Chain A
Amino acid sequence: MRRTVLAAVAASGLIVMLAGTALTEESNWGAYQVNDKRSGYTYAAAETRAIQDDDFENPAMLWVDTGGELWNTVEGEAGKACASCHEDAAETMAEVGATYPVYYEPRGKLINIEQRINLCRTENMKAKAWKWESRELLSMTAFVRNQARGKPVAVKIDGPAAPFYEKGKEFYNQRRGQLDMACKSCHEDNAGNMIRANLLSQGQSNGFPTYRLKWQKVGSLHRRFRGCNKQVRATPYKAGSDEYVNLELFLANRGQGLPVETPAVRN
């Protein structure tokens, strides 16, 4: 297991915080900020960042470790483990976390990491697909994405992915729910503002699956989407729906260049 952390690059930002300076545009957030794109890390409280910075403190590393064990576990009628075909994840999975979702020709649409994992389970291992938000799927997703930790997000939105990206963008900008708010209303127009007790971040996706202190566990990006839909009293979509996968691509591109942080820790 790699235990390298991004903490060092943000050290200057951390020192500024310890000195009691409020979050400002001027803060040097190192890799956590790319031009005007800022990871949720830069909006998090100092204590929350400290938990993320230390792999031995970060409770989400338990999920990553479980994912590592499952990687080597034989399951299904084909009698294979992930490792049987993919061998050393540090090498073979080095890019996946930074480049998904991708256009998947056989289905004629986008797939994200969770769906890619389940495709391998059903088609290559002849094993059952893992349920969304199950400990297994969260752990494997966190493990796979963790292999790309520190790599800049670099998704493709051209070619066959383009129409799906456009749909994601439309979703992002569409007002919804009884409160009539779009993702954009909170995370673009009001990032950096307090909404009652909450500091609004840019709503970046580079740290997912993420350990939320509120959830007391690791959660998927789609769980977060559902929560953000429900808080404006909008009917959420199903986790794993095409709508959310398209939105996921739009968000990834919006944070293009931010480092993969999985597993992040947030409030």
Chain B
Amino acid sequence: MAWQSLGVVRALICGAGIAALFATGAAAEEFIAFKIDNNESIANSLTGKPGDPARGREVAINRKQGNCLACHKLPIPEQPFHGEIGPDLSMIGDTYSAGELRLRVVNPKIVNPDTFMPAFYRPYGLHRVMKNFQGKTILTAQQVEDVVAYLTTLK
């Protein structure tokens, strides 16, 4: 299979999880498949490397990346506007494990199909995506890991 030679796949797909690999175009990085446990958690780092919480905080602020502040309150006092659509994440590291947080960032629609929150690592099942975003995920695998690392510090 193609993924073996690419050497980017760290986990096999199984169960009710994701069932395809995506060629994501010249500029985009290769989509990394992952394993979902019981629709509850993605235990392993997508990149095989730990994330960087300081970079994750930046991703959460950046309007072109996570923009988590659009909908969530976070302990980021220097930013004036925090959204009020999703729950306050100030203590979210107490509620969920890293794996549960990873699943919620990668694709919260697995937990709640009707959620307003975008799936940050799911480049398929979408309608009329603009050309320059087609086949691409909102965050890179490393950015997902950085955000997850940041969330785990929120206790």
Contacts and interface: CB of A to CB of B under 8 A. Distances in A.
Interface in A165-190: 174-181, 185, 189-190
B85 A193 contact: yes
B66 to A, nearest CB: 12
Nearest to A197: B81
Interface in A222-255: 229-230, 233-235
Contacts of B69: 196
Instruction: Give chain A's interface residue range (CB within 8 Å of chain B).
Output: 20 to 34
A192 B63 CA distance: 21
B131 interface: yes
B116 A189 contact: yes
B11 interface: no
Interface string B113-153: 00010110000001111110100101000000000000000
Nearest to B119: A180
B83 A193 contact: yes
A190 B70 CA distance: 12
B70 A235 contact: no
B133 A178 contact: yes
B77 interface: no
Nearest to A192: B84
Contact of B116 (A177, A190, A196, A229): A190
B131 A179 contact: no
A185 B119 CA distance: 15
Contacts of A193: 83-85
A177 B83 contact: no
Interface residues of B, number: 23
Contacts of A190: 85, 116
B97 interface: no
A18 interface: no
A124 B130 CA distance: 39
Contacts of B126: 175-178, 180
A85 interface: no
Contacts of B130: 177-178, 230, 233-235
B89 interface: no
**Interface of A, helix, strand, loop or mixed by DSSP:** loop
B80 interface: yes
Contacts of B81: 194, 196-197
Contacts of A189: 116
A241 B29 CA distance: 35
B110 interface: no
A176 B133 contact: no
Contacts of A1: none
A195 interface: yes
The CB with the most chain B CB atoms within 10 A, among A176, A177, A178, is that of A178
Interface in B50-106: 63, 67, 69-71, 80-85
Contact of A195 (B71, B119, B129): B71
Contact of A185 (B80, B116, B128): B116
Interface of A: 174-181, 185, 189-190, 193-197, 229-230, 233-235
Interface of B: 63, 67, 69-71, 80-85, 116, 118-119, 126-131, 133, 136, 138
18 contacts: A176-B129, A177-B129, A178-B118, A178-B129, A179-B138, A180-B126, A181-B116, A181-B118, A185-B116, A193-B83, A195-B83, A196-B63, A196-B82, A230-B130, A233-B129, A234-B128, A234-B130, A235-B131
